Amino acid sequence: MRSRVLMKMTSVKKVPATKTIGVVMIVIMLFALTALVFGCVPSTETGAKGNSPEAPANDPYAVSFTWETNADCSVCHQKEHDSFADATTKAGVHSTLPCSTCHTDSALSTVHKEVTSASKTPIRLRSTKVEQATCLNCHENLESLAQKSADTTVLTDAKGTVVNPHALPETSDHAIISCVSCHKMHTAEAVEKTAQDLCISCHHEKVFTCYTCHD
């Protein structure tokens, strides 16, 4: 009986090694093909910082756009446009003014070059800016504003030093600060907070006098 079992076991055909390798290679190729197909499917998830993913360059529904002073900015900048109806924002106070009153930067025509309705909308100004002179065309000059804010304690550091926000010491870093650095137009964030955050972004120890923290 035992000899018959052994005979049956020895009579089983062995699978050639080359055939086994071929099967393994086919399985690997199928996995690779599956990963390639699914890896190339465009993502429909929301992009970083709340921006939608960019549409393909050959989007048949994309509409070209040319920036002009009378252009309808709400087509792309809906959030900023909605802020004009919000009385808690600075834009709400300026709701009767067109966008081009403040956004006079000549670079706007450059940054909107080749822009279409499928382009991703930036969440903040990077290549353009609102000039301080634009604000001062309607508002008072800095000297008058400094007199009005002479008694404010909004900018008080950790050592009790008070700085007049409209009379900052003249430094190269302060030279790039303008009205809109603190006075945000399209958000309801209080100017007291935006001004403090701006100072702390450099004076990270909350001490306004330089060369008193680091030896």
Predicted local distance difference test score (pLDDT) of residue 57: 52
Q: Using CA atoms of 42, 47, 52, 55 in order, give the dihedral in degrees to the nearest 10.
A: -30
pLDDT along the chain (215 residues), means of 10: 45 50 62 48 34 50 78 88 94 92 87 82 80 91 94 94 94 92 93 94 90 72
Predicted local distance difference test score (pLDDT) of residue 38: 43
pLDDT tens readout for residues 94-153: 999 999 899 988 888 888 888 887 788 877 777 788 999 999 999 989 999 999 999 999
By C-alpha distance, which of 173, 72, 178, 53 is closest to 118?
53
Predicted local distance difference test score (pLDDT) of residue 48: 32
Predicted local distance difference test score (pLDDT) of residue 104: 87
Predicted local distance difference test score (pLDDT) of residue 111: 86
Contacts of 186 (CB under 8 A, 6+ apart): 79, 80, 83, 89, 90, 91
pTM of the model: 0.63
Token look-up 């009579």 returns 11
